Amino acid sequence: MWELLHAQGRLPQAARLYRAALGRRLAAWTPPVSAPRRRLEGTLLCAVDCDHPALAVHALRRSLALCEFDGAKLLTDAPLQLPDIEVVRIAPLGDAAAYSRFMMKGLLSHVGAERVLVVQWDGFVADAARWEESFTLFDYVGARWPREVAADHPGCEVGNGGFSLRSRALLEALQDPAVAADHPEDAAICRGARAWLEARHGIAFAPGEVADRFSYEHCAVGGPSFGFHGLINLGRHLPWPEFASFECLGEWLLEG
């Protein structure tokens, strides 16, 4: 359905309506908490969002319901107060390029843990049982790129930043003036600066088979993964059938 809407030029409006419907659902939603939660030692859970902070809170709480972290932070310009998540006010991020600059150059000062699990409003922990300590052997773990992107960048098959595990060592290496804060930030890190980060700073990127066990986005994986990212996948991981069936868009789907 997402592909069809894209072909019709209706994808941006569909995404807006989908987000709005999700926001209405979340107004009366209480996150379920599993018992016991999976402990992720030395890991901070974090989202950076100045556009859809309420939806980012939902992604954080979905992850917190399944895993226990060293802490959970929402970095935003919104004046929120939350009982379970530390809200850190930052300057507004006016566009996606500003988000990329912040993630590459500004995130370090907010991460005191050994690593950070970055989530966005359309991606979160899906199956805590799929966590592997082997993920922590790498400085960056994210889902595979689409096949056509990977084909254009041999040796750089991962990794999507919307649901990603990043070491503090990586965040420190990104402060190198030789590493440009380009947009999008995940491509800048995992393709543009990868060779420099590996050679100069010893940064290790997860291989594709590890990435597949960690997360998925545009590429289907052979089995369950720890998490996911992407609006196209969100309906699979929500408890409300209308988001998987697109009924949440109502009569709009029949228009045009």
Q: Kindly report the pTM of this predicted structure.
A: 0.95
State the pLDDT at residue 143.
96
Residue with tokens 């209480």: 30
Per-residue pLDDT tens listing for the chain (256 residues):
898 898 999 999 999 999 999 999 998 888 877 788 999 999 999 999 999 999 999 999 999 999 999 999 999 999 999 999 999 999 999 999 999 999 999 999 999 999 999 999 999 999 999 999 999 999 999 999 887 776 677 778 888 999 999 999 999 999 999 999 999 999 999 999 999 999 999 999 999 999 999 999 987 766 789 999 999 999 999 999 999 999 999 888 877 6
Task: For the sheet with 115-119, list strands across it.
Answer: 86-89, 71-76, 43-48, 115-119, 163-167, 140-141
Per residue in 127-185, pLDDT (tens digit) is: 999 999 999 999 999 999 887 776 677 778 888 999 999 999 999 999 999 999 999 99
Per-residue tokens: 168: 């503090």
Q: How many other C-beta atoms can be found within 10 angstroms of the C-beta atom of residue 206?
A: 25
Q: Is residue 75 a contact partner of residue 110, using CB atoms and an 8 Å limit?
A: yes
From CA 72, how far away is CA 34, in angstroms rounded?
A: 17
Q: Which domains, from first to last, does the chain contain?
A: 2-31+38-254 (3.90.550)
* Backbone phi and psi for residue 9, each to the nearest 5 degrees, phi listed first: 75, 20
